[in-house]
Amino acid sequence: MIIVYDVHGRILWISTNADVEAYTANLRDQGYRYLVYEVDADPVDVAVGFYVLDGSLTERPQAAISSLEIQADGEDTAIITGIPEGVSVSIDDEPYEVSGGSLEFTADDPGTFRIAIDAWPLMPFEAEVKAL
């Protein structure tokens, strides 16, 4: 499997071309970055869940949330972890910059709040937190 990627490690395409030597020579001639990956893996899973970091195939990080329901008391929290430094988190389409790798979400009023993070190489994250 030949993985072609950009300067940020984002996988552009994957080839299963049998003539690895000729294919990689062509990629080199065209100035592409590539990685020959000799492990049996599903190319779709690789393209979606991995990126190239320092020349190695690396699993994309994922954010996690502690709870999807909190009390609307301004104290109960849903904690989102695994957020890269300086990333903007969207809460009901309003951006908030996060530092320290986590976000503690509280609500004073009942409602459903949509939280989203879209920051490479983090896997896209979306959650709805209900404040009861």
Domain-by-domain residue ranges, the chain?
Answer: 2-59, 64-131
Query: How confident is the model over 107-126, as pLDDT tens digits?
Result: 999 999 999 999 999 999 99
For the entire predicted model, the pTM comes to 0.79
E strands present in 6-131: 11-15, 33-36, 50-53, 56-59, 64-65, 69-70, 78-81, 88-91, 94-97, 102-105, 111-117, 125-131
Residues in the chain: 132
Closest CA to 1 of 36, 26, 33: 36
Query: How confident is the model over 42-53, as pLDDT tens digits?
Result: 999 999 999 999
Query: How confident is the model over 69-110, as pLDDT tens digits?
Result: 999 999 999 999 999 888 889 999 999 888 888 999 999 999
